[in-house]
Amino acid sequence: MTYRKGASMGDQWPPAPFDRAYQRMREHDAWYVGNPEHLATFYGRGPVVHTRPAQYRGGLVGAVSRFFWGRPVSPRGQQRTRLHVPLASDIATASADLLFAEPPRITVENSATQSRLDEIVNTPGVHSALLEAAEVAAALGGVYLRVVWDADIARHAMLDAVDADAAVPEWRWRELSAVTFWQTLDGTDGATVLRHLERHEPGRIMHSLYLGTDDELGRPIPLTEHPSTAWTARVVDADGAIDTGTRRLTANYVPNIRPSREWRSVPALKPLGRSDFDGVEPLFDALDETYSSWMRDVRLAKARLLVPAGYLQPLGGPGAGAVFDDDQEIFTELNMLTGRGDGSPPITPSQFAIRVREHRETVEQITHDVLRAAGYSPSTFGELNGATGITATEVTDRRELSETTRDKKSRYWQAALGPLAGALLDVDRAVFGGAGIGLDETPLVDFGDQAQPDPAELARTAQTLLAAEAASTDVRVRLVHPDWDDDQVAAEVAAILAETGRTVPDPATFRGPDQAGGASDGMGTGPGQ
């Protein structure tokens, strides 16, 4: 939906077809947050029952009952503990860690511009913000980044992240051409909703305030009507726009991963990408059901004694109840019609078995299936199936699936961060007088290698190459220090040769006294000297 000042009360919000995408995002958000009440509300106990179209085949009630979290607690009054396992949030956190545990490096050719870029973007604060954005992106399917500035906060332009369920994008050839961010403001009653819309177009940002309802955008009202938007009224032009000082779009979208299986036939939703939770929601639900069953076994396996009423001590009279004292050593025998063969009333112990092995194996299998479907290796989560004493190479092999997923995701971030960093430098130059960048230049984004090689393993490899005379000192130094430049490598090679006493003249370039026509250069001794 494009920005329009003359919107009417009949405008649907969120606009179609993004309402369908937001519905799925709400489902994934429920798993990401992991609140049992939210899950139970989403899957059936709330005022609205949420199901997929295919679930209607067996009837609405049957569709809800297919999910553990959608089943009603029955019979009434029976205790049933529902336990949630936060595997979904663990996956989102692991995705972000794989991408940004080692921060990327954004570079340009001009040294002055690079210094300004380091001051603005290559900072711990921005790297932490990207880490947070990547975690939410893994859950919702993507995240938006935008350029903002506030001279009261910082004397430079800044990067800000917006969750995927708070924006309406517009695409051209699967590239973001414009986007409208929206935010529901406080201070409205239950019947009306105030929304602040911030639309980014190449060269300008437009602000507007709408008064509507939960599912309708409503009518535009002055920006001064709410404290959160009053500041924009002082800086926008007659069209409600702010000039950004750049022809680039001051926002970009980072898909978590593509293609989006569910939306591949919906052009407006196809570029959104997919969540790490896409397609594994039933497995999340089955995992919670298994853990809840396991905990039910634990609860039912508590030791209990079934005793005759005559062994109970009354608590003060009729209707006050009674209690059994398990420390009492002598009980008064009563005349009873029931009991053991000798006529004594029975005390029957009750303690059920806990099916630990069955539950654990089921949990492990479901977890393995979830991680494989999401594109992660179990070893990323510390699961090595009990293996001990494995080598660094074996650990790397077991992380291969996670590394592949990380490489795929990093390319989407590279494609988005580079152009947005260019727009950031443009805005910074226009607003704060910072060092700019060429109109056709795009900063480079390097994520580097996520898997850090084991120093001990590299040392053993270097020693093997030395023993086999298969690599020079220069090659071995570069193997152990892959991040060093040529000068660092040359200095280290010279130091090694000096320490080992192997600093000798190169036979190909050495010239003795007879060849040089003079005295030796003092670099060494030749034959016969």
CA distances from 167 to 133, 170, 241, 277, 309 (A): 15, 10, 18, 20, 66
Residue 9 lies in a domain: no
Residue 510 lies in a domain: no
Provide the sign of the torsion angle of the four alpha carbons 1, 180, 166, 105, taken in this order. positive
Residue 307 and residue 442 in one domain: no
DSSP H or E stretch at residue 169 = strand 167-172
Residue 92 and residue 162 in one domain: yes
Residue 400 and residue 311 in one domain: no
Residue 216 and residue 317 in one domain: no
Residue 317 and residue 423 in one domain: no
The total number of structural domains that make up the chain: 3
pLDDT at 367: 95
Give me the helices (H) in 333-454, please: 356-374, 392-398, 400-432
Residue 59 lies in a domain: no
Residue 464 lies in a domain: yes
Domain that holds residue 344: 303-326+340-350
CA distances from 516 to 154, 248, 504, 511, 519 (A): 66, 65, 18, 6, 8
Residue 311 and residue 436 in one domain: no
pLDDT in tens, 196-245: 999 999 999 999 999 999 899 999 999 999 999 999 999 999 999 999 99
Residue 220 and residue 272 in one domain: yes
pLDDT in tens, 417-444: 999 999 999 999 999 999 888 888 999 9
Residue 152 and residue 196 in one domain: yes
Residue 149 and residue 119 in one domain: yes
Distance CA 271, CA 171 (A): 8
Q: Which of 470, 28, 475, 440 is nearest to 262 (CA)?
A: 28
* Length, in residues, of the chain: 529
pLDDT in tens, 349-402: 666 778 889 999 999 999 999 999 999 999 888 765 544 444 445 455 567 889
DSSP H or E stretch at residue 206 = strand 204-212
CB-based contacts of 319: which residues, under 8 Å, 6+ apart?
none
Residue 264 lies in a domain: yes
Residue 28 lies in a domain: no
End-to-end CA distance of the chain: 89
Residue 199 and residue 92 in one domain: yes
Residue 117 and residue 203 in one domain: yes
Residue 426 and residue 441 in one domain: yes
Provide the sign of the torsion angle of the four alpha carbons 161, 166, 171, 174, taken in this order. positive
Residue 33 lies in a domain: no
DSSP H or E stretch at residue 21 = helix 18-33
pLDDT at position 324 over 90: no
Residue 498 lies in a domain: yes
pLDDT in tens, 241-282: 999 999 999 999 999 999 999 999 999 999 999 999 999 999
